[in-house]
Amino acid sequence: MSTPHNQAQKGDIAKVVLMPGDPLRAKFIAETFLTDTVCYNTTRNMFGYTGKYNNISVSVQGSGMGMPSMGIYSYELFNEYDVDCIIRIGTAGAISENVKLKDIVFGQAACTDSNYANQYKLSGTYAPVASYDVLEKAVSIARKKGFPYHVGNILSSDVFYSSTESLKRWGSMNVLAVEMESAALYMNAAKAGKKALCITTISDCPLIGLSTSATERQTAFTNMMEVALETAINYQNI
């Protein structure tokens, strides 16, 4: 079985999938952290790999940028490939002044300016949230490792080049960081009865003009990767 976006067959993909937005970050993780690695997807260059981390099967696949792309890939993983849990491992821009460059931010919930939830025909505003048990495990791992982290509300925006004024308004509501995929992931997980978590590393601080390089975003955020991988292999105990 394959889809228009994924050439994998049933059984090629592990029950837990790590999803960076950048497919080259997926490639880096597969080559750096996994053993016995098999590439199961190259369609549209959205690389997907399954391998072993501490002898436990884990998959990693790119999601692309934005909620439409995340929506497609996470929907197919949950509904066509029987994936139980997706852990997004992405980058984000700090909104809160307490969040620093290269800190980890766990998305407990995801605000959004997207109309993604309109497909569900709900009578109110849906609040997309992480799976608490997966969040709790990931936070405990980060704490034990001594990594700097924050847990709270994030913003999944359809707009990359947001105005400073807009970001400040979200920050005034205690939103920690802005990214572009998590709300769609959380909604797809909820609809499918599956689990999801967003873990991001702060790649830039747009309100004060700080940023990391493209190479750093692809390969240097290993604290986040380690937390996600250890959460993935502990999934059966969550």
Q: Which two tokens stand for residue 135?
A: 């969040």
How wide is the angle at C-alpha 80 spanned by C-alphas 109 and 43, nearest 5°?
A: 95
Within 8 A by CB and 6+ apart from 69, the residues are 63, 181
Pairing of strands 149-156, 195-205: unpaired
- Residue pair 113/159 in contact by the 8 Å Cβ criterion: yes
- 204 catalytic per annotation: yes
Q: How many CB atoms lie within 10 A of CB 224?
A: 27
Three-class secondary structure of residue 120 per DSSP = helix
Q: Which two tokens stand for residue 35?
A: 């053993």
Say what the alpha-carbon torsion angle 94, 96, 98, 104 is, to the nearest 10 degrees: -40
Query: Following DSSP, what letter does each residue of 34-51 receive, concatenated?
Result: -EEEEEEE-GGG--EEEE
Active-site entry in 12, 22, 103, 204: 204
Positions marked catalytic:
204
